[in-house]
Structure 1
Amino acid sequence: MATSIQQNIHTFLDDIRRIIDAARTNAVRSVEFCRVQMYWQMGQRILEEEQQGKDRADYGSYLIKNLAKQLQPEYGSGFSVRQLERCRQFYRLYPIASALRSQLNWTQYKMLITISDPNKREYYELETVNNCWTSREMERQINSQLYERMLLSNDKEAVLAVARKERIPQSPLEIIKDPMYLEFLGLERKPAYYEKDLESAIITHLQHFLLELGQGFTFVARQKRILLEDDEFFADLVFYNRLLRCFVVVELKTGKLTHQDLGQLQMYVNYYDRMEKLPEENSTIGILLCTSKNDTAVRMALPKDNKTILASEYQLYLPTQAQLIDEVKSVWKMINKPSNSTEEEKEEKA
């Protein structure tokens, strides 16, 4: 009897805590959205006033500087020239109030308005809402070039269609990235790591790893024991992807990929297909995470029509600013390259 009373008290207390936490969360969201609306309305008013003096080229700059001079002593540093310029840009990019998303805060909108490419901006806006990213998570995905990495193996329309929820991913290439950035593991800069150290770090930071893997992943097993007659094998990590409706086996390698690694992963994939997969589920996917790979060797080691074994490089540290610029240039050069060689290309080669 006493135990039952105690359980009721605990249940009651948990319910009250949930009510309080939900109210606090909603209050924060409400304040954030009011803040977003405030900056949007300020941007609208600034732009309207600025356009009245459009015959003077320097009127906009004068207007904002004078406004900041008046507002800062009264309302604080949150109304600086830089902030007021952001408000104006914010309204320019989102001229319709209904386009604002209550799930996004001002910090996230500040990051979005710095992105000049409208498709790229829309992608991060949608993915932030779809995945409930925090400001920090959104910043990380932008800094790690998530959009550009997705474009390496997908066309722009397909990437945006998935983000808009207009279609469900049909191929692992639409979800899985190459390369993957694992800087969140916090591993020290060393010339070499043991695979068990890498695996332990991933398990410790599983939530971040799932975010880097992509949409729809859930954790299934670590060091999954596979017994084949008298021989034991252990698959490093096993996940399930609810969008692709299949198991995903991940093998970790701290060195360059070899054809033996691919053979081992293929065996694990075959095992899951034949022993674990349900008839209505899709074929198992295998991902081999390595520090480097020979793409030609990978293609030669796998069947021509391979769609289930993927090799993806990982990097333990985010790229530097110079590396980011070089990577963005190479990605866009690849995307915008015509299918047939132009006369200019032929001349360059000559």
Structure 2
Amino acid sequence: MQLNPSVISDIKNIIYSARDKAVRAVDKERVLMYWNIGKRIFEEEQEGKNRADYGKFLIKSISAQIQPEFGIGFSYRQLNWYRQFYRTFPIVSALRTQLTWTHYKFILGLDNQHKADFYITETVKNNWSSRQLERQIGSNLFERLLLSNDKDAVLAIAKKEKQTNEPRQIIKDPMYLEFLGLKKESSYYEKDIESAIITHLQEFLLELGNGFSFVARQKRIHLDGDDFYIDLVLYNRLLQCFVLVDLKTKKLTHGNIGQMQMYVNYYDRLEKLPSESPTLGILLCANKNDAIVKFTLPEDNKTIIASRYELYLPTEQQLITEINKEIKNRDPYN
């Protein structure tokens, strides 16, 4: 007799599913436990006459009596986290069951409520792991989107007041590709970066924006005896369109833009279904002249986007400089 191989596969899937549910259930209970501890500490603290001094004394005293029995999770520092957790999210029904305590610790480290709302919404919407959330916060995703998009639109999307249907509200400029692990002192060919992107495809799609999935690499287009190759072909489920990506390690030229326009036209005429949106082209380049991009493309261009890439995350000072530059550029009285 021969065992049906699908039996093993089905049983493994049942086990994996049960394990995932068990882990999520434990995480949910842990989050609620920490919230309730924070609530009880805060309530007791409010009874103290000198609240600042009493609060410090209270948490130290609780830790001294609880930690020996229950471990390091109830240290003075951790109890302070739980208290801050309750103060930041005073309504228990507002807690998201999809977020673990590790997620919430990263959220608690943020410096304003708009930013916290944005990252919570994006984590739930994209099912980010705590590691992915940490990377997005570390790469200043919120600030970068505000720099390259309309501020109100970004906040509206974060609050679920508006559905994303504009490419420029999804795609970032610049994009940071530090996860590729390429060294600063080296120079690279396009094929080197492309290979690194394929190796780190999940991280690349995450940095590229919401709703992207991989379709093809080095897609061949044959036109009357001439062959052309598109570096990456993706699909975006939010925009419901093909997304073509061309990598350029040197400064972007009008010829590069014209070539991408040809790729987009090809996909629109031969690959796109009638129900799908127009094809989007992304020129991912090391450097660009925005004026050349502007005057090479039609005024009503909505299908080709030039985005600069950086192989390393910006320092805090670099980000501040970019923000100040953007504010200056948007000031009509400057």
Tell which deviates more after alignment, 58-67 or 246-255: 58-67
- Please list every run of 5 or more consecutive structure 2 residues that lacks an aligned counterpart in the other structure: none
**Aligned with residue 95 of structure 1, among 83, 90, 95:** 90
Q: Structure 1 CA distance, aligned partners of 2:8 and 2:55?
A: 56
- C-alpha displacement at 1:189, in angstroms? 3.1
Q: Structure 1 CA distance, aligned partners of 2:286 and 2:326?
A: 23
**8 Å contact kept, 1:126–1:163:** yes
Q: Paired residue for 2:162?
A: 167
Q: Structure 1 CA distance, aligned partners of 2:19 and 2:131?
A: 21
Q: Paired residue for 1:303?
A: 298
Cα deviation 1:200-226 (Å, max 9, x = unaligned): 111121111111111111211111111
Cα deviation 1:98-120 (Å, max 9, x = unaligned): 11111111111011011121111
- C-alpha displacement at 1:64, in angstroms? 1.3
Tell which deviates more after alignment, 324-333 or 256-265: 324-333
Q: Structure 2 CA distance, aligned partners of 1:338 and 1:213?
A: 25
**Aligned with residue 31 of structure 2, among 14, 30, 36:** 36
**8 Å contact kept, 1:290–1:312:** yes
Q: Give the match's secondary structure for 1:192.
A: coil
Tell which deviates more after alignment, 273-282 or 257-266: 273-282
The one-letter code sitting in structure 2 at the alignment partner of 1:115 is L
**Aligned with residue 263 of structure 1, among 258, 261, 264:** 258
Q: Structure 2 CA distance, aligned partners of 1:258 and 1:333?
A: 24
Q: How does 1:164-243 map to 2 (within 5 A)?
A: 164-243=159-238
Q: Structure 2 CA distance, aligned partners of 1:23 and 1:67?
A: 36
Q: How does 1:268-287 map to 2 (within 5 A)?
A: 268-287=263-282
Q: Structure 2 CA distance, aligned partners of 1:203 and 1:330?
A: 29
Q: Structure 1 CA distance, aligned partners of 2:230 and 2:154?
A: 30
Q: Give the match's secondary structure for 1:327.
A: helix
**Aligned with residue 327 of structure 1, among 310, 319, 328:** 319
The one-letter code sitting in structure 2 at the alignment partner of 1:261 is N
Q: Structure 2 CA distance, aligned partners of 1:298 and 1:83?
A: 51
Q: Paired residue for 1:78?
A: 73
The one-letter code sitting in structure 2 at the alignment partner of 1:324 is E
- C-alpha displacement at 1:339, in angstroms? 5.3
- C-alpha displacement at 1:153, in angstroms? 2.8
Q: Give the match's secondary structure for 2:148.
A: coil
The one-letter code sitting in structure 1 at the alignment partner of 2:319 is E
The one-letter code sitting in structure 1 at the alignment partner of 2:148 is S
- Please list every run of 5 or more consecutive structure 1 residues that lacks an aligned counterpart in the other structure: 346-350
- C-alpha displacement at 1:141, in angstroms? 0.3
Q: Structure 2 CA distance, aligned partners of 1:57 and 1:204?
A: 52
Residue 56 to residue 29, structure 1, CA distance change in 2 (3 Å): closer
Q: Paired residue for 2:239?
A: 244
Q: Structure 1 CA distance, aligned partners of 2:66 and 2:107?
A: 25
Q: Structure 1 CA distance, aligned partners of 2:295 and 2:167?
A: 20
The one-letter code sitting in structure 2 at the alignment partner of 1:308 is T
**1:135 and 2:127 matched:** no
Cα deviation 1:240-288 (Å, max 9, x = unaligned): 1111111111000111212211111111111111222222222211111
Tell which deviates more after alignment, 324-333 or 77-86: 324-333
Q: Give the match's secondary structure for 1:234.
A: strand
- C-alpha displacement at 1:297, in angstroms? 2.2
**8 Å contact kept, 2:139–2:313:** yes
Q: Give the match's secondary structure for 2:210.
A: coil
**8 Å contact kept, 1:103–1:129:** yes
**Aligned with residue 248 of structure 2, among 244, 253, 257:** 253
TM-score by length of 2: 0.93
- C-alpha displacement at 1:47, in angstroms? 0.5
**1:157 and 2:149 matched:** no
Tell which deviates more after alignment, 300-309 or 245-254: 300-309
Residue 86 to residue 56, structure 1, CA distance change in 2 (3 Å): closer
Residue 221 to residue 259, structure 1, CA distance change in 2 (3 Å): same
Residue 12 to residue 193, structure 1, CA distance change in 2 (3 Å): same
Cα deviation 1:108-151 (Å, max 9, x = unaligned): 10110111211110111111111111111000000011111111
Q: Paired residue for 2:46?
A: 51
Q: Structure 1 CA distance, aligned partners of 2:104 and 2:206?
A: 21
TM-score by length of 1: 0.89
Q: Paired residue for 1:65?
A: 60
**8 Å contact kept, 1:148–1:328:** no
